[in-house]
Amino acid sequence: MAVPRTKTGVRALLGAHGIHPRRLRGQNFLVDGNLIDAIVRDAGVGSQDAVLEIGTGTGILTDALAERAGAVVSVDIDGELQALTRALREWPASVRFVTADILAGKRKLNPAVIDLWGGAGAGLRPRVVSNLPYAIATPVVACLLFEGIPLVDATLLVQREAAERMTAPVGARAYGPLAIAVALLAEARTLRAVPPQVFWPEPKVESALVRLAPRDPELGRRLAREGFPDRLLQAFGQRRKALRRLFGPDRLAAEGLSPDVRPQELTPKQWLALLTVPRR
């Protein structure tokens, strides 16, 4: 057998084994070989890289990464599907499969997976290349940033809405905690738009390929220790209300802010100053 690179091939493979895509697990499988090749080129994967792939799926991306990366750790929560993928070809020793949830709760990456990735890629550059299940895109990105993993970059295929939340400017509708965290802790760029037709089943939304390059792991760890993510989420929980209700006019005035300012009006640097200085 071989790893299928078309919609017809994926449907035939799963149908022959009685496996059906599970919506609750975000199983929209890539079925376009040309796009896969483009993703790997965009990511610039080479023999000096240890790649973490979140979401093995039917192995189409794993297969392409295996031919280029120095090491690949591919994790998937679906053991039945991953076992099928492992049987599709003779995988090189540089590829390791893990059946596990990448998240240990909503605020932490699975330490066993991260440790295996680090061990498999000893001496190589740590990178992430993934077709992320839509439901976990935001928590995975937040964990990568706030856990301060020494990561070269992450090239992620996500729902377009998630990409917009990562890169939104101040005042935009999509501007919120994720955009602020990304702006403070990484360089972010949208590489390409991706239509629904390259997936099976087809999602009802468009996707986008984004690259995040973390630039200050220590700051991410410090902000997590200080509770910055939770306090930011709390503030945006009432995004239509003036921040004086949360911080008080004196605290806002100390930062040169109006008592009527609203969460979406503050820049990432203003949020950093407001939430990392003890409130009076």
Per domain, the residue ranges of the chain are 7-217, 226-276
d(CA 131, CA 117): 17
pLDDT score for 153 = 98
Please state the φ and ψ torsions of residue 75, each to the nearest 5 degrees.
-115, 140
pLDDT score for 280 = 44
Structure tokens at 246: 């949360």
pLDDT < 50 regions, the chain: 279-280
Look up the CATH architecture of domain 226-276.
Orthogonal Bundle (1.10)
d(CA 44, CA 275): 36
CA nearest neighbour of 140 among 176, 114, 119: 114
pLDDT score for 239 = 76
Q: What is the pLDDT of residues 209-227, one digit of tens each?
A: 999 999 999 999 999 999 9
pTM of the model: 0.94
pLDDT score for 240 = 78
d(CA 243, CA 238): 9
CB count within 10 Å of CB 244 equals 17
pLDDT score for 105 = 85
- Tokens 């998937």, residue located: 76
Alpha carbon distances (Å) from 234 to 170, 172, 275: 18, 19, 11
Structure tokens at 221: 């760890």
Q: What is the pLDDT of residues 10-67, one digit of tens each?
A: 999 999 999 999 887 888 999 999 999 999 999 999 999 999 999 999 999 999 999 9
pLDDT score for 1 = 73
> Does domain 7-217 sit in CATH 3.10.20.30?
no
d(CA 152, CA 133): 21
pLDDT score for 181 = 97
Alpha helix segments (H runs only) across the chain: 7-16, 33-43, 60-66, 79-86, 111-120, 137-146, 160-167, 177-185, 217-225, 228-236, 244-247, 249-254, 268-276
Residue 123, sorted as left (phi over 0), alpha (psi -120 to 50) or beta, turns out to be left
pLDDT score for 51 = 98
Question: Which residues lie across from 190 on neighbouring strands?
Answer: 210
Structure tokens at 143: 């964990």
